[in-house]
Amino acid sequence: MTYRPVDAATGWTQVWNGENRMVETYKGGDRLTFKYDYMGRRVEKCVYSNNTLTSRTLYVYDGFKCVEELDALDNNAATLRHTWQPFDVGLDVILATIDSRESSFYLCDGSKNVMQVTDTDSIINGKLDYQPFGKNVTSIFENFAFSSEQSDIETNMYCYMFRDYHPFINKWMSRDPIEETENEPNLYVFTQNSPIQLYDSLGLDAISFEVNGPQTPSGWSFFGRFFATSKRCPVELEGGLFLAAEWQPPRWRSIKKFFNRFNIYIEFGARGGGTAKFKYSECLGLSETKICLRIEGFGRADYRQSGFRDHHGRFTRLRFGVGADGGCDLCINLCNGEVTVDCAFSYYVYLNFGTNKYNRTYNFADTYGRNFKLGILPGAALLRSYCNSSSSPNSCCCRK
């Protein structure tokens, strides 16, 4: 078992098992314990107050989606039943929750976040709002909220299928089970520090693609970043393109070899350019089209000793490094004229070493994000007549 405090502000201490899963967290006399099945799904949660067991919840799944919660202290009586949108219909968002008293229906945005909660009479009982990295800035608590993931009111963390995420400190609470990659050594980073553009359903990966052009003698080059997601029945598309001029010190954008043995990777610079983002749904039509100006800076230095994975998937190598990156978007939504500024910054320090039988990574990282609504420019809503209108809202897929 491994013991580690969450942070100095909350004071919760976590207990982890050999599979890198949280099995217990406690603060004073308050304690939570968790159990998992062979697929890694959380199947039990016990809550202790002043060292007294107050609740024991069992979870029933359909695949990887929780569909029922049972009260183990009341003969396994069903307390909550959840309904999800099927994968072949669209985003796997939470649709409804039924308890012994009432039914609640959830309205989600294009990033799977629960934004409104209604009752059977379509009366809105609650509205939620979030900071870029998922912190709920309203006083309303829902079992499923940011990214349609289950939350724990005791710790303010979201339970993704493979990891727990804390929106107050903007990072995962455990290492990425797929380990670090050449382009992402930070094992705790959330959606490549782009929660406004990307979402992560399992806590494993996010999709994006980057290209760099040749560097001029003065250090300038072309940079492009593209991301996209798509679903069928109904058709849903979301994407964005960032085109920029990038500057790095000349002759530094490569791996340096000293004494033909040591590999030192150094990269730092800045980018500035334009971003276009859009969201389209077969049922709703064009729901968002943003034109943005973006500036960002980045830097990192890594020492990399060559190595390989053994048959257990462990690295045989030595790596350590530091890095930081951040940027801001000034955007205009051409659907409603809303002007916003979205900013995010992160940094990390890590050490990874291992042999055929032993592998260990130490990582310290943090991320900060803020968004600001500057106002509305009615004249900038050039696509208002094309937004939130669909030629086929009554198609068979939309009616499902």
Contact 160/150 with Cβ under 8 angstroms? no
Predicted local confidence at residue 70, as pLDDT:
94
Contact 58/44 with Cβ under 8 angstroms? yes
Q: What average pLDDT does the chain have?
A: 78
**Percent of residues, the chain, with pLDDT higher than 90:** 22
Would you give the end-to-end CA distance of the chain in angstroms?
46
Average pLDDT over residues 371-381: 88
Phi then psi for residue 72, to 5 deg, are: -70, -15
* pLDDT surpassing 90 at residue 99: no
* pLDDT surpassing 90 at residue 40: no
* pLDDT surpassing 50 at residue 74: yes
Predicted local confidence at residue 1, as pLDDT:
47
Model-level pTM greater than 0.75? Answer: no
What tens digit of pLDDT does each residue of 340-351 get?
A: 998 988 888 878
Average pLDDT over residues 355-375: 74
* Closest C-alpha to 392, from 266, 239, 235: 235
What tens digit of pLDDT does each residue of 205-229 get?
A: 456 678 888 888 888 899 998 877 7
Predicted local confidence at residue 35, as pLDDT:
93
Contact 56/73 with Cβ under 8 angstroms? yes
- Amino acid, res. 152: D
What tens digit of pLDDT does each residue of 105-137 get?
A: 999 887 788 889 998 888 888 888 887 777 878
CA distances from 2 to 83, 118, 185, 396 (A): 36, 42, 22, 51
